[in-house]
Structure 1
Amino acid sequence: MDVGLDTWAFIIGIILALLVLDLLTFSRHPHEVGFKEAAWWSVFYIAVAIAFGLWVWWDSGSVFGTEYFTAYLVEKSLSIDNVFVFAIILTTFAVPSIYQQRVLLIGVILALIFRAIFIAIGAAALAYFAFTFFIFGAILIWTGFGLMRHWNEDPDPSENFVVRFVKRKVPFTETYHGTKLFVKENGVRLATPMFIVMIAIGSTDLLFALDSIPATFGVTQEPFLVFAANAFALLGLRALYFLVKGLLDRLIYLSLGLAFILIFIGVKLILLFGHEQISEALPKIDTVVSLIVIVAILTVATVASLIKSARDPDAVAHAGRVTAPKDDSESSS
């Protein structure tokens, strides 16, 4: 795909314009976001993402168009898991509802920065080291199997190494002061709980990028499409949070479905490495097949979740985690 500096400038300009629009409208004043407002913004961001995909299809052909839409679908599905974890963080730290949209906006901006860095590193690695395909595939398979084993558990923000380190090193107050990160009390500069929340959101964004970027490169090796799919999925993440947070408990098998998607893409990357570096006789999974498989997995996970929640109203969905929780003896040591 031939992408010049003008095209990169164009897509970055669109993303910055959308962020400015968001700052001037959606999050200009702290307020509780209702379902109707979140629905309109979700539709808007999805429409922008689809319009961009249609432009790619028209300008660069159906192959790249299909790769973009598949990558966007992968990122959109993974962003729902982001929403799960963000909901846990906001609840754990008791963030007032009127400030949640600002926290999530900062989270989106941090995620965009982290993703851009990882995409640049990933693209360079894939260009110079074909073995990177195998490494990315192994990471996704390991993550997928870990998530499969712990799909019905939730991550604990208190186990976050960065959060625990900051809490030990930085004095802070227990009281929120709007969206301020630091305040002075009795002449002493203290961090507010909002600062800890931002640390938790930022470090979580970093961890999600480690899985998300290899997953997207598993669908397309075009850095431009990887970046665009990530950016448009992330821009709609905040509206998605307020839209589906009341439905999260019903998506019981979503984390299990995401585990299967990660494993599938991991296998695809390893097969791609084998096909290109070992023998062309080895199978290679087509992008259209990937799209069909991903849609099928998400559909089955959603339908099964709704059936389960209807039959068992007490069943609750979980975000899932990759590793087992630390026991008390480990956490205290």
Structure 2
Amino acid sequence: MAAPWQQQVEEVEEPLRRFAFDAAIIFSDILVVPQAMGMDVQMVPGKGPTFPEPLKEPEDLQRLQTKVDVGKELGYVFKAITLTRHKIEGKVPLIGFTGAPWTLMSYMIEGGGSNTHSKAKRWLYRHPESSHMLLRMLTDVIVEYLLGQVAAGAQALQVFESHAGILGPVEFKEFSLPYLRDIAHRVKDKLKEAGQDVPMIVFAKDAHYGVEDLSQSNYEVVGLDWTIDPRSARERTGGKVSLQGNMDPCALYAPKEQISDIVKRMLEGFGTRGYIANLGHGLYPDMDPENVGAFVEAVHQHSKQMIKQM
């Protein structure tokens, strides 16, 4: 049986062999961070990653490790990054990855996935100080985790706030945005001390109200989900950052010819200035790989046409 980090390498290599992607990402499960802090995470068939003993009250924070040896606890991710860099032989850049503090906090309290995230949001309203304490603890580990990924060979970094849309604008600015900013500033400051400069991407799903703030948070790229109009995002970010996204993943269920048309409209919306073509979220397990290929082919085809027309 392959070690976890060996499996990660295989999962990165296969798409690169099959599709003409411009980059690769180590998409490690985001829950490795709370696992490194001492929480038990189990993969339950039909349910996904689950915490058998989630955090219920502020007193439960005492169960968490405040000083995490990231190299020891998450070294298998670093091994995967290093080996993958060697395997892809410089063909494409390799992106490191982490879940963001609020998203991880939600999982740790809910015990797994949730439609309402009511248990986690209960903490925000009833235990704001303890919520900030947990978010700071997660931020500290995430910063070291990202720095370790760069040391292992990651050439860019992505911070994934997939539960941002569960928060309203006020809560987002209090419990998500400050920690996203802190991660970017601390990682970049540490890298600068070492003479390094690694671009960072922030993706806050469903946080359409936060596009302006995210564009001023020390990230080079802001990822957009499919609910945000590209032209509007350009205006709201004022050219401060590059944009990434944002085709609806479910568009990959469409016939190949229709996928090409959808991609063309998306590219025209973003234009040619500072843009990474991508989906507005992840793939679903039942999607046809041939349609993924049609998406990639359409991006290359229409991008070339747009450049010729400039």
Same fold (TM over 0.5): no
Higher share of residues assigned strand: 2
Per the normalisation by structure 1, the TM-score is 0.25
Per the normalisation by structure 2, the TM-score is 0.26
Higher share of residues assigned helix: 1
